[in-house]
Structure 1
Amino acid sequence: MKKTGFDSWQNVFSKTLLTGTAIALAAPAYAQQSNNDDQSTESTASEIVVTGYRAQLLEAAEIERSANNVVSVITADDIGSFPDQNIGESLQRLPGLIVIRDEGEGRFITVRGLPSDFTQVTVNNAQIGSSDPDGARTVALDVIPSDLLSKVTVNKTLLPDQDHDSLGAKIDLEPLSAFSRPDSFTARLTGQVTIGEFASEIDPKIAGDITYRTDIGAGEFGIAFAGNYFERSIQLDRLESSSGGGIAERDGFAVPQELDQRLELGKRERFGASVSLDYRIGTDHVFNLSGLFGRLDDDDIRIQQEVELRDSSNSETISIGANSGRFTDVDLERLVFFQPRVEETYAIHFDGSNLISDNFRLSYAVDYSKNKFTLNDGLRGRFRERDLIVDANWDRNSADFTIAGKGDNDRPDDLDFDFRPGLDDLNYDQIFIIDESRTDEIFSYNADLEAYLNLGDYDVTLKGGFKHRMRDREFLRGEREGDPDDATGIGDLTLADVPSFVPDSALSSSGGLPDNGAFPQLEPFRDLLLRTRDALDLEAGDRRRDFTADEDTLAGYLMADVKFSEEFSIIGGVRVEHTKYDTVGDILRTVNVAEGDDDIFADQFENEESFDNEYTKWFPALHFRWEPNDQIVTRLSLYKSQVRPNFGDARALQEASFELEIPDPGGDPGRQIITYDIDGVPTEVEVESAELERGNPFLRSLTANQVDVTFGWYPNDNTSIRLAAFYKDLTNTFIGTSAGTAESIAALGFDPIDQVTGIALTEASTVINGSSGELYGVEISAEHFFSGAEGFFVTGNLTLIEASTSSDQIRDGEKFALPRQSDISGNASIGYEDEKFLVRLSGNYRSKQLVSVDGDDAFADVFTRDFLTLDLSLRMNVMDRFRIFFDASNLTGEVEERFYRGNDGPVFNRIEDFGRTFQFGVTASF
């Protein structure tokens, strides 16, 4: 029987109570009053004078006690006290928040075990966009420098007057304001150098800000400006097998299909600026106009070697075991990829709040934000030798190979175990160019009206309003490849014909070869690629992955805040959001036919399709707050929220790729042989692969009925303890999956036989709605300052989560964890602070996570290993206005590691080593 709304809530309550949700936390010691979408309530943050780490935590704890919803906050000075490269890494210090790293730098945040695209990010409560390459809603937090911000608020429960675009949290970034500091004039300047363990470069950073406010007679005016410039040299080693088919089963053993060794080099330059203009007439009339800009230039160079074991079919494999094999017909490729990438974020915000009379307040806001990513003149060149014999070995966290000869096991007379390729055997046989642009543009406006009433002994605030948000996302990707042999003036080149070098890397790329893993020298090779492109007259016009998506949301709400006494209050209300979604994209099929090493024919079928979807969701909410005495605060939140599908998952885009080959008479008898027209001639061909990837424009939004119970205990000024328990009843979870049999492909809603080409699919992938899911969690956080050992302190938090989801379309309804969910996460700090000196050692931990689920085979599921980092911070005040600091990040030299579940034990998927980072600097305050 279908559950009614009442039955669903009753189920939520019973499960929550049975699992002990009487313990709770309103927010950690960093908590601060939520700054809601209407901004009608004056923030108390501007009244706080922060002097030292202990004073910060004590003030934050006091603010947390008056919050209506569960929030966590980091203030600007607190951000600066951690050895963090950006705001994303600072947020990982809060309970339930986990950072996801990219190129060794924290970029994305997951909250309470939910994926990062389930978290909304705003600037002054205005949503900012995403440049995610897969069309996710994930916001990269490394684009905006933390020096521009006065505080960051993490809303873990939502009130009816807030956007309902998150299940994890809503993170609001508030730029520096003249009213966020106690003095009428302040200025700060920071100089810093950063040294990375692998890059061994000295990278500069300079940051500064100025605030000024003055009484102009009719009110108070304030202006604030902040700027930041930061360079970071990148060098990291990565070994992966996630591309090229990932992992396959051969004779009952799990075998990686590719050994992909990468050395990433480059330099990131980040620039940011913010300005804020404020005008206030007391608290009756408040106006703010602010703007924020962040730009990240990433001159990325990938030096890459691929050993393609996927080319070796069952009959071409000489031997296979649990963690090793000897393979024939293997390609060896050495590639260099130049990727000059730029990402920019703009946010402009205006809001006003006017007290119309003693009983009414009108608030309003207009917001515009834009995020744009561009990759212009991306160039990749390849040197390749084919048909090699390779001995490969692998385990959970490593893989290596040795070249053992040349040949194909299907032709045993051609096997040559004495052959070892030299640089003159690696042919310059491909140039690949790419131009890419991703834009996310958001415009919104809202208005809210509050009425302050006194009903008998109760103070009541009634509030209602609306918000209209228009969001446009555009993905443009042009790419083209060419054969340098066809380029006039280039010639038939090998790696021996160009200047080469052996990269300084922890990875072994030699494979036992005498050249020690040589690659073309970077700048001469870039020039060669440019000359090849011009000679071939290549343009990135193959628009394989273009699509657009428009999302129009109209929301309204009503809510009431009833204060029954100084100790007890209830906020209740309902929000409704109507969403209209339109998407336009390409439906593309590409057929390539090869004979031996040569491509002999290509077909392409293309048309454009559009889809639209429309839905309305209601979100009721009740929030209870009870403060029985000066030491205890408790809260209970019952509410519903949603996450809309990712744009990439719901795109109107299908891309099918068919790789055909003229069959070898001695090939595998179980292969797929079909007849295909080649230039009008019916020809027998072997299907090497027939893969289809499709978006799902009709995905339903994921919704959750949620319960959050919190408890805070503040026995004295030296100690605070907060507990929280939460439950999320999930409906329509998003599951990315793939299938490789006719039956499982049909279960995903695909036709196993492509109707245009008549070729049976070998693999299909898409995103579907799971039937249901649930998440239980407990958060614990505490701080203690030792009275008997003045200056010493310990802080920490721990989050425990249990979650699962399932779909009848995936492995017969098998239950599995939510993507990017960690059962255990936490951090702890121990340190000492006095008037001149601060030292802190911090640790951050997260347990194993599920990354992706294979629709057919559990052995191909991908996980991350648990992750532990240690960081050290030192601060020393020199005179009254100067502070010197030293930060060391990732002291343990931790690496990011992913692995396949495997059959006889885990098999590596990706290992990334980014080393340690050290920072030295000085800050002057005026």
Structure 2
Amino acid sequence: MNKKSNHLFKKGSLFKKSCLALVIAGMSLPAFADGRIEGQVSATEKGIALEGAKVRIKELKREATSQRDGRFIFVDVKPGEYTLETSYIGADNISRRITVTDLKTTRANFQLQGVSGLVENVIVIGQAAGMNKALNKQRSADNIITSVSADAIGQFPDTNVSESLQRLPGLSIERDQGEGRYVRVRGMSPDYNAVTINGVGVPGPDADRRAVALDVIPSDLLENLTVTKSLTPDMDANSLGGSIDVQSLSAFDRDGFFYQFTAEGSFDENTEEYSPKLAATASNQFSLGNSEKNLGVAFGVSSFKREFGSDNVETGGAWDFDEDEARLEEMEQRDYRITRERSGLTFNLDYKPTEDTDLYWRNLYSEYTDAEIRLANVIEFDEAASAGDTLVAEVQRELKDRTETQKILSSALGGQTRLDKWIVDYRVAYSESSEDEPQNIAGAVFTIDDDVIADEVFELAFNNTKKIGLSAPAEYYQASSYKLDEVELGSTNTNDDSAAVNVDFTRELELGVNPAQLKFGAKHQTRNKENDINLWVAEDFAGDTSLTNFSGAAVDYTLGQFGPSIDSRAVKNAINDAEVDAEESAIGDYDISEDTSAAYLMGRIDINAWRLLTGVRYEKTDFSASGFSFNAESETETAQQFENSDDYFLPALHIRYSIDDKTQVRAAWTNSVVRPGFAQLSPGRLIEEDDGDIEAEFGNPELKSLEASNIDLGIEHYPGVASVISAFIFYKEIENFAYQTDLGGTAGYEQFNKALTFVNGATAELTGIELAASKQFTQLPAPWDGLLIGANATLVDSTAEIGGYEDGDFVARDIPLPSQSDRSANLMLGYESDRISMRVSANYKSNYLLEVLEPMDANYDTYVDDQVQLDFSLRYFLTDSIKLHFEALNLTDEVYYSYVNKPQYNAQYERYGATYKLGVTFMQF
């Protein structure tokens, strides 16, 4: 463990002593003359462990839920004869008589099979099996969750974790170059959601955001994805929308030896490039000592290299709306060529040294390299232009060539020990994420050559204010018209690491005749994020600097004519010397630390058909930030240092009422807290003078955390195999919503004409309804009994107040929460039989606010337009162990389009085309 995380144990010495005292107290409790029931629930075929099965002691009205390895446990069971009953969606129920004796553990294993008369493997593999696994986990949870299993992930043509999650109710994604990257839960920005890997919190690799870019993690290495929408007190409280847990493979997910190997090739329609992919996972169980199958080893590896691209035309919102007709001031044509390599490795050990102790070591490493070459034609009109006008414009040709590598590492060592009355869970974990951009061409600028074009301008015209087309003279497209003017080089390194230790104690008991549970625990976590930016500028070049000497083949640009490409190696070779840009290199650097100590107490009780869970969590966060202030006028750099501390009491109440075994009502009241983004908290400050006006731009380390009070109410009905009907309403009240504004001229900033920073706003609110339904038509005659239909929709409305100062008075206006779509939906049509499985899926999300360009002027709010993506997947089993698959993504060639003011005014229009995949999988259960 590195030096940054060593202070976890120094600062947490009191915490360590408290944990040790709790362990000793728990182990010293006297034994009672009651018995215990333990067992495992698995599928008859393939021996796959089944999570989420309900197991009941009929006479005592006690209920336990099978965990990930299928294990269930009852403690403090008085001696006698009892009836155990199982309940699992998609399988026949089983009843069994058992006898419990004093101080003994009675073992009762259940092997379930699909509902009589239906497809044999309905709970093992395939679409229905995947849906069943997720629905059982959802049904048995104490709180509100949504889940997707590896079987279901494999049925969709999804490249990474974020794309797998977009299919779930209440979730949508933000894409980068057509690929899913960030996940939104119930309309909340990705920065307000937590991500864990095997239960361990993961820091984000991006310099400015808390959001974890889930496109870094390959979907091939996963076993389950679980989204928690209502937090319980034993969970970290750092999510406003939801908490996403990524679970990797475990050897105890299946009985015995398992392997799966996939080879795939894909074709990108836009660039006509082919890309390879390989993935393999395997697990097995071994016997150590006198125990049988008590050691489990699982590993997985994945490698995917994709070459693709996009074509873009954008304005960045540079429209003049002061007159009756909107006029364009600036625009860009862009061509992207991208190579993305996504690789991952997981290695997990599970060891059961005794019947009462389970130990584990879980590791997941993923690496994502994005090599991007961006060519741009940058056009600035001398006067704001209307469509069809021919006006004078300055033009620049630009090149950006950078390679960015993001890495995520998660490692956790822990276990569970079951004492007579107590269950003790313990874990030490370390996570790290990073983003590294070695020195690259951040921007090579070619301006009009005055030896060729005397006036250094062109007469240009554009048409269509949405998908903008350009009319230009022949000289505009010729390399000889331009010369190299400036090259900016840049490098960035961001590192975010976290270390945590936690211990939890659980005690099953009875209050009168009602089964109950008491749970409490503590956790200490440290987090440190560093960002280092370096920029250089080169302006003087030797030799002939005509673009002719740097140009290549004509760019294949589907949105019109573009001109020649630019050779980045030739640009680098032309650089003789570069000076450090002290201003930009200073203000982007920061070092931020957040140390959080937490403790919780919660209890649960079953009263007839009611299950009540309540408790409170306490969290205290110590925050420190250091960075630099740069005065551009005096060219002086000053160190900045900030420290503060906050603590929170976060109560929660969860209610579940079971109308019958298929129908239940849920309600929850929870509270959560999230720190502002790192760009918002950064202590970096820039002060500069422009024509006598002093302007400043800076972060605000003194921002308060966002606090949310959440209410959920819903009903779930599980009518049969792979089937559910559910409806939930939810409400969130968020305090201290953070946004950017101008404080220039206000108290404390009187000398500044402009002072851009971040402030906390008034309360923001979000209200929504979440609907989901799926059904397998098992009642139809063959072959129609393999038909599946699934659909979900989320309707959300939100409002947040932002504002600024005019003539010294604060003026406010309302906006929707950024990154929140009012409507999102999924529709899936599937079919499966013994040999074939196919699925057509459509994903929709309505427009959402991307960015507020001017806090005081709604005309310049930037929105992303509605998007609908249609995908298709087909799987065919040549044998029980060999599977072919074909996938098609973005069949309708959906574009990314953002706009300002009204949908007809372009901010960005980007086209990707479709992608096709063909592959084969070899597997053994």
Rate the CA distance shift 1:549–1:878 in 2: closer, same or farther, 3 A. same
SS of residue paired to 2:499: strand
Q: Is the 8 A contact 1:431 1:484 kept in 2?
A: no
Normalised by the size of structure 2, how large is the TM-score? 0.82
User: How many Å separate the matches in 1 of 2:898 and 2:399?
Assistant: 24
SS of residue paired to 2:151: helix
What's 1:869 paired with?
869
Superposed CA offset, 1:300-333 (max 9, x none): 1111111123xx3xxxx3x754x465554x4311
What's 1:377 paired with?
439
What's 1:343 paired with?
406
User: How many Å separate the matches in 2 of 1:443 and 1:859?
Assistant: 45
Superposed CA offset, 1:31-55 (max 9, x none): 9759xxxxx9862464785232123
The partner residue of 1:546 within 586, 589, 592 is: 589
CA RMSD of aligned residues (A): 2.5
What's 1:106 paired with?
180
SS of residue paired to 2:893: coil
The partner residue of 2:801 within 802, 806, 820 is: 806
1:505 counterpart = 2:561: no
User: How many Å separate the matches in 1 of 2:141 and 2:476?
Assistant: 70
User: How many Å separate the matches in 1 of 2:206 and 2:722?
Assistant: 43
Q: Is the 8 A contact 2:529 2:592 kept in 1?
A: yes
One-letter amino acid of the structure 2 residue matched with residue 583 of structure 1: A
User: How many Å separate the matches in 1 of 2:672 and 2:465?
Assistant: 39
SS of residue paired to 2:815: coil
Superposed CA offset, 1:364-414 (max 9, x none): 111101111111121242211275254443655222444579xxxxxxxxx
Q: Is the 8 A contact 2:522 2:598 kept in 1?
A: yes
Q: Is the 8 A contact 2:587 2:684 kept in 1?
A: no
Of 822-831 and 283-292, more deviation after overlay is shown by: 283-292
Rate the CA distance shift 1:877–1:325 in 2: closer, same or farther, 3 A. same
User: How many Å separate the matches in 2 of 1:59 and 1:291?
Assistant: 24
Of 209-218 and 137-146, more deviation after overlay is shown by: 209-218
Query: Could you tell me how far 1:282 is from its partner in structure 2?
Result: 6.9
Query: Could you tell me how far 1:693 is from its partner in structure 2?
Result: 2.4
SS of residue paired to 1:798: strand
What's 1:144 paired with?
217
User: How many Å separate the matches in 2 of 1:559 and 1:793?
Assistant: 40
The partner residue of 1:518 within 529, 552, 564 is: 564
Superposed CA offset, 1:345-369 (max 9, x none): 111111111112x211221111101
Query: Could you tell me how far 1:253 is from its partner in structure 2?
Result: 4.8
User: How many Å separate the matches in 2 of 1:106 and 1:480?
Assistant: 32
Query: Could you tell me how far 1:132 is from its partner in structure 2?
Result: 1.9
Unmatched segments (≥5 aa) in structure 1: 1-30, 35-39, 406-418, 511-516, 592-602, 661-672, 675-686, 755-759
User: How many Å separate the matches in 2 of 1:62 and 1:376?
Assistant: 47
User: How many Å separate the matches in 2 of 1:914 and 1:85?
Assistant: 15
What's 2:337 paired with?
265
What's 1:594 paired with?
none
What's 2:134 paired with?
60
The partner residue of 1:393 within 459, 462, 479 is: 462
What's 1:90 paired with?
164
User: How many Å separate the matches in 2 of 1:813 and 1:131?
Assistant: 34
Q: Is the 8 A contact 2:138 2:147 kept in 1?
A: no
Q: How does 1:726-875 map to 2 (within 5 A)?
A: 726-737=730-741, 739=742, 745-746=744-745, 751=749, 753-754=751-752, 760-761=753-754, 764-786=755-777, 787-788=779-780, 789-809=784-804, 812-853=811-852, 854-875=854-875
What's 2:32 paired with?
none
Q: Is the 8 A contact 1:433 1:539 kept in 2?
A: no
Instruction: Spell out structure 1 runs of 4+ moving beyond 6 A.
Output: none
Q: In the comparison of the two structures, how many residue pairs are matched? A: 795
Normalised by the size of structure 1, how large is the TM-score? 0.82
Q: Is the 8 A contact 1:555 1:575 kept in 2?
A: yes
SS of residue paired to 1:69: coil
Q: Is the 8 A contact 1:32 1:71 kept in 2?
A: no
Query: Could you tell me how far 1:250 is from its partner in structure 2?
Result: 5.3
Unmatched segments (≥5 aa) in structure 2: 1-49, 54-63, 72-111, 113-122, 449-454
One-letter amino acid of the structure 2 residue matched with residue 466 of structure 1: A
User: How many Å separate the matches in 1 of 2:223 and 2:70?
Assistant: 10
The partner residue of 1:560 within 603, 628, 635 is: 603
Rate the CA distance shift 1:78–1:422 in 2: closer, same or farther, 3 A. closer
Q: How does 1:304-703 map to 2 (within 5 A)?
A: 304-309=376-381, 312=382, 317=383, 320-321=385-386, 323=387, 325=389, 327-328=391-392, 330-356=393-419, 358-379=420-441, 380-385=443-448, 387-393=456-462, 395-403=464-472, 422-485=478-541, 490-510=542-562, 517-520=563-566, 522=567, 525-526=568-569, 528-533=570-575, 535-536=576-577, 542-565=585-608, 567-590=609-632, 604-658=635-689, 674=692, 692-703=696-707
One-letter amino acid of the structure 2 residue matched with residue 297 of structure 1: T
Query: Could you tell me how far 1:898 is from its partner in structure 2?
Result: 0.5
What's 2:9 paired with?
none
Of 696-705 and 804-813, more deviation after overlay is shown by: 804-813
What's 1:51 paired with?
125
Q: Is the 8 A contact 1:805 1:818 kept in 2?
A: yes
One-letter amino acid of the structure 2 residue matched with residue 388 of structure 1: V
User: How many Å separate the matches in 2 of 1:695 and 1:259?
Assistant: 29
SS of residue paired to 2:234: coil
What's 2:717 paired with?
713
User: How many Å separate the matches in 1 of 2:330 and 2:683?
Assistant: 30
User: How many Å separate the matches in 2 of 1:246 and 1:804?
Assistant: 26
Superposed CA offset, 1:767-794 (max 9, x none): 2212011111111111122222321121
Q: Percentage identity across aligned positions?
A: 29
Superposed CA offset, 1:424-454 (max 9, x none): 3311111111111011111111111122222
Of 542-551 and 66-75, more deviation after overlay is shown by: 542-551
Q: Is the 8 A contact 1:777 1:799 kept in 2?
A: yes
User: How many Å separate the matches in 1 of 2:354 and 2:911?
Assistant: 54
User: How many Å separate the matches in 1 of 2:849 and 2:313?
Assistant: 19
Query: Could you tell me how far 1:653 is from its partner in structure 2?
Result: 1.0
Q: Is the 8 A contact 1:434 1:540 kept in 2?
A: no
User: How many Å separate the matches in 1 of 2:720 and 2:370?
Assistant: 49
Query: Could you tell me how far 1:460 is from its partner in structure 2?
Result: 1.9
What's 2:272 paired with?
200
Larger relative contact order, structure 1 or 2 (CA cutoff 8 Å, min sep 6) = 1
Superposed CA offset, 1:833-861 (max 9, x none): 11101111100000010112221211110
User: How many Å separate the matches in 1 of 2:225 and 2:703?
Assistant: 32
The partner residue of 2:918 within 913, 917, 920 is: 920
Rate the CA distance shift 1:562–1:545 in 2: closer, same or farther, 3 A. same
User: How many Å separate the matches in 2 of 1:821 and 1:774?
Assistant: 12
